[in-house]
């Protein structure tokens, strides 16, 4: 099921790029979306039967695999809404690949797709509401990330401009991390060592390789990539300019996505999370890394909302904040599990 949707989104992407067969692309995206919806519901009822916990409790949202799938679902839903509202399809060329990539990532990593039994702490309606709403907000935030980034690409020109350096760096690092993780996965698949957890394998093929040569080589490559992105960033700009996207519209979508995601994140991510922690552990706030990172994310988006009110912060500066905000989201979601440890062990497999 993940395959089908991924492929469809890719085809959609290609269709967008080659000729403006927009209607076909939209249809494909919608078809993929419906297929995914059906698959999610199927899995849901399967789990409901298996666990005998009642329908609502067994929502497919309990591990990394399911939550990623749900995230993709939200993202596509959000995109379809935007396409509908702004009557602009070119934007899809940037969103559908993200969705496709996320699904491919799930497939490649071989994140356990098994329907797993739940440890007692995870059996809570609050948790369910918490995770669901968090992911809706994450999808909104990732929307604002891509529009914010595009805004920066569009509106910066000089190579020594700070915001230009910022976006090329972000873009480059993004690319490098994805590439090296891809490498990890490939070698991991080839060597198939089921006893080693993939988590401990991260970056072993490149930056943390035991061999010094490979290590130096990967760092060198990384810097060269960064330099290339920085040097030729304007190419991307002309590409974006070809699609009829203008900066004001991007700025507006960025703001709208954040304004939509922020209250949902507040209620679902922070408040429901706190209530769940209170029920399960007897503390509504314990400053554990995951909670703290959610708070950091929240503050960054509050920073964005208020930043727009201070004169001179329109445009580029707040776009930078929206990009930083999404980096915090990703760190909250993946980084804390992979790099830091804490109470929240869920979703770490």
Residues in the chain: 349
CA separation for the pair 58, 194 (Å, rounded): 28
Note whether 305 binds ligand HEM by CB under 6 A: yes
Instruction: Give the one entry of ligand HEM, another protein, none that residue 340 binds, where binding means its C-beta sits below a cut-off of 5 to 8 angstroms depending on kind.
Output: another protein
Residue 278's binding partner among another protein, ligand HEM, none (Cβ under 5 to 8 angstroms by kind) is another protein
Using CB under 6 A as the binding rule, whether residue 306 contacts ligand HEM is answered as: yes
C-beta of residue 29 within 8 angstroms of C-beta of residue 92? yes
Q: Closest Cα to residue 61, out of 142, 136, 144? A: 136
Q: How far is the CB of 349 from another protein (least distance, A)?
A: 13
Do 62 and 116 form a contact (C-beta atoms < 8 A)?
yes
Q: How many chain residues are in contact with another protein, going by CB under 8 A?
A: 43
Task: Name the segment binding another protein (CB under 8 A); options: 91-99, 118-126, 182-190, 238-246.
Answer: 118-126
- Answer whether 90's CB lies under 8 Å from 244's CB: yes
Cα angle for residues 176, 177, 183 (degrees, 5° grid): 90
Residue 42: HSE in the Cβ half-sphere, 13 Å Cα cutoff? 7
Distance CA 244, CA 246 (A): 7
| Site stretch for ligand HEM (CB under 6 A), options 104-112, 233-241, 288-296, 305-313 | 305-313
Other CB atoms within 10 Å distance of the CB of residue 344: 16
Minimum distance from CB of 26 to ligand HEM (Å)?
31
336 makes contact with another protein (CB under 8 A)? yes
Question: With respect to ligand HEM, which residue has the nearer C-beta, 199 or 306?
Answer: 306
| Rounded distance between C-alpha atoms, residue 277 and residue 122, angstroms | 10
Residue 280 burial (CB count, 10 A): 16
Q: How far is the CB of 293 from another protein (least distance, A)?
A: 6
Q: Name which of 290 and 308 has its Cβ closer to ligand HEM.
A: 308
| Site for ligand HEM, rule CB under 6 A | 302, 305-306, 309
Q: Which residues contact another protein (rule: CB under 8 A)?
A: 117-121, 123-124, 252, 259-260, 262-263, 266-267, 270-271, 274-275, 278-285, 287, 289, 292-293, 295-296, 299-300, 302-303, 306-307, 309-310, 328, 336, 340
């Amino acid at each position: 099921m993940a395959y089908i949707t991924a492929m469809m989104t890719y085809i959609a992407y290609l269709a967008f790029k080659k000729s403006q067969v927009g209607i076909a692309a939209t249809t494909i995206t919608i078809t993929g979306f419906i297929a995914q919806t059906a698959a999610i519901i199927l899995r849901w009822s399967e789990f409901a039967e298996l666990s005998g916990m009642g329908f609502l409790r067994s929502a497919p949202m309990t591990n990394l695999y399911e939550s990623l799938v749900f995230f993709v679902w939200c993202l596509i839903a959000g995109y379809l809404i935007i396409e509908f509202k702004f009557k602009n399809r070119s934007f899809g060329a940037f969103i559908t690949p993200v969705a496709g990539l996320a699904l491919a990532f799930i497939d490649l990593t071989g994140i356990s797709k098994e329907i797993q039994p739940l440890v007692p702490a995870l059996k809570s309606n609050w948790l369910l509401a918490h995770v669901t709403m968090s992911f809706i907000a994450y999808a909104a935030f990732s929307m604002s990330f891509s529009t914010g980034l595009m805004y920066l690409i569009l509106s910066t020109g000089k190579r020594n401009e700070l915001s230009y350096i910022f976006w090329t760096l972000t873009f480059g690092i993004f690319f490098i991390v994805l590439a090296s993780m891809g490498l990890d996965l490939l070698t991991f698949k080839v060597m198939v060592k089921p006893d080693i957890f993939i988590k401990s394998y991260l970056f072993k093929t490149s930056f943390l390789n035991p061999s010094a040569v490979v290590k130096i080589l990967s760092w060198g490559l990384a810097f060269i990539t960064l330099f290339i992105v920085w040097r030729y960033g304007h190419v991307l700009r002309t590409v974006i300019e070809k699609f009829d996207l203008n900066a004001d519209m991007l700025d507006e979508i960025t703001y709208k996505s954040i304004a939509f995601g922020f209250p949902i994140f507040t209620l679902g991510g922070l408040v429901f999370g706190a209530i769940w922690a209170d029920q399960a552990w007897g503390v509504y706030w314990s400053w554990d890394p995951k909670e703290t990172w959610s708070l950091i994310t929240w503050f960054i988006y509050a920073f964005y909302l208020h930043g727009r009110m201070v004169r001179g912060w329109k445009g580029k500066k707040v776009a930078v904040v929206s990009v930083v905000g999404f980096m915090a989201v990703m760190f909250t979601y993946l980084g804390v599990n992979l790099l830091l440890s804490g109470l929240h062990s869920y979703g770490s497999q």
